[in-house]
Amino acid sequence: MSDLRTPLARARGLGSARDGLHHWWAQRLTAIALIPLVVWFAISLVMLSGADYDIARAWIGSPLVMVLLILTISIGLHHGQLGIQVVIEDYVHGDGWKLALIVAVRFIAVIFGLAAIVAILRIGLGG
Amino acid sequence: MSVANRPVHRPLSPHLQVYRPQLTSVLSILHRATGIALSVGALYLATWVIYAAASPKAYALFQGFNTSIAGRIVLGGWLFCAFYHLCNGIRHLFWDAGYGFELKDAYRSGWIVVAVSLIATAVSWIVGLRLV
């Protein structure tokens, strides 16, 4: 197949999205990481769905669960943010609205993720 | 009205509603729908640990909803969305690697995704109900 790109475009390697492979690659990388994490988390959620305060805190605060839970929430929110961004890019056509929504979704993901990490550390490390 | 100003009813490109639903298109739409639901669910999960860190009273309030009928339905729905998106996501990763594009293979992998995600959902509901 002949390459229709200009030499400059080929050298930049950013394509029509002006972002190269970064979004695509990040989405796949987080997807692969989430395969074992979601299986683990779904099983845990079923076991813990009726847990009271003390049981839930003891579970969240154990060292292995802390690590896995922080990974699940942060990678899950990152993957979700990347996916919602594509939905917005597909269905929201005004440039202003599109940018505002993508920024808002990213901010919400970061705020909830950071708050959840602080909460997990607080439960596990005391304070 | 002059001829030039009269609205012209040109044929439009056919859209979703004129097609008979196919397994491949339905699963594709479901992948996006469950992805949106799971993104909201991820915020809910973050809220759960935040409430657990806040106080026993806040956590009791949160668990009050979780253990209600509505909460059970949300949890059951979340489990289906998670298993479906997980299975179909693996199907997508195979496509990304260049495998399974033949129509026959796309249908076969589609039915495998339907079967595995429904079985996993059923098992999680049964085991979950027994444990709680």
**Domain of residue B85, CATH code:** 1.20.1300.10
CA distance B98 to B37: 28
Specify if A3 maps to a domain.
no
DSSP A49: T
Tokens of B112: 């495998």
Q: Is A15 inside a domain boundary? A: no
Q: Position of tokens 């209600």?
A: B68
Average pLDDT for residues A74-98, to the nearest whole number? 95
For B17-40, how does the pLDDT look when each residue is reduced to its tens digit (9 = 90+)? Answer: 777 889 999 999 999 999 999 999
Question: Would an 8 Å CB–CB cutoff place B128 in contact with chain A?
Answer: yes
Q: Do B63 and A45 touch (CB under 8 A)?
A: no
How many C-beta atoms surround the C-beta of residue A9 within 10 A? 13
Question: What pTM was computed for the model?
Answer: 0.87
- CATH of residue A97: 1.20.1300.10
Tokens at A21, concatenated: 């492979």
Query: Domain of A117?
Result: 22-125
CA dihedral A45, A48, A49, A51 (to 10 degrees): -150
What is the average pLDDT across A36-56? 89
Within a domain: residue B2?
no
Q: Token pair for residue B53?
A: 């860190």
How far, rounded to the nearest angstrom, does the alpha carbon of residue A41 sit from its chain's CA centroid?
15
* A116 is a domain residue: yes
How many domains does chain B divide into? 1
Cβ B113 vs Cβ B80: under 8 Å? no
Q: B50: which 2 tokens?
A: 């935040």
Q: Is residue A120 part of a domain?
A: yes
- For residues B117 and B83, the answer to whether their CB atoms sit within 8 Å is yes
Check if B32 contacts A (Cβ < 8 Å): yes
pLDDT (tens digit per residue) in A50-79: 788 999 999 999 999 999 999 999 999 999
**Residue B132 has what pLDDT?**
41
The residue with greater pLDDT, A107 or A94, is: A107
Q: What is the mean pLDDT of residues B101-115?
A: 96
Over residues A117-126, mean pLDDT: 95
For residue A17, the one-letter residue type is A
Look at B10 and A82; give whichever has higher pLDDT: A82
Residue B23 · residue B107 · CB < 8 Å = yes
Q: Which domain holds residue B104?
A: 23-131
Mean pLDDT of chain A: 91
* Count of CA atoms in the C-beta half-sphere (13 A) of B11: 2
- The answer to whether residue B46 is domain-embedded is yes
Q: What DSSP character marks residue A124? A: H
Which residue out of B36, B39, B95 would a mutagenesis test of the A interface target, given it has the greatest number of A Cβ atoms within 10 Å? B39
Largest CA distance in chain B: 75
| B28 in a structural domain | yes
Residues of A with CB under 8 A from a CB of B: 28, 31-32, 34-35, 38-39, 42-43, 45-47, 49-53, 56-57, 60, 69, 72-73, 76-77, 80-81, 83-84, 87, 108, 112-113, 115-116, 118-120, 122-123
Instruction: Count CA atoms closer than 13 A to A29's CA, side-chain side.
Output: 8
Q: What is the pLDDT of residue B44?
A: 93
Band the pLDDT of A127: cuts 50, 70, 90: low
Phi and psi angles of residue B98, each rounded to the nearest 5 degrees, phi first: 95, 10
Contacts of B82 in chain A (CB under 8 A): 38, 42
**How many structural domains are present in chain A?**
1
For B71-95, write each residue's pLDDT tens digit: 888 989 999 999 999 999 999 999 9
Quickly list H helices, chain A.
7-12, 22-48, 53-61, 63-91, 95-125
Q: What is the pLDDT of residue B67?
A: 83
Copy the structure tokens of residue A53: 């305060």
Q: Which distant-in-sequence residues (6+ apart) come within 8 Å of A115 by Cβ?
A: B46, B50
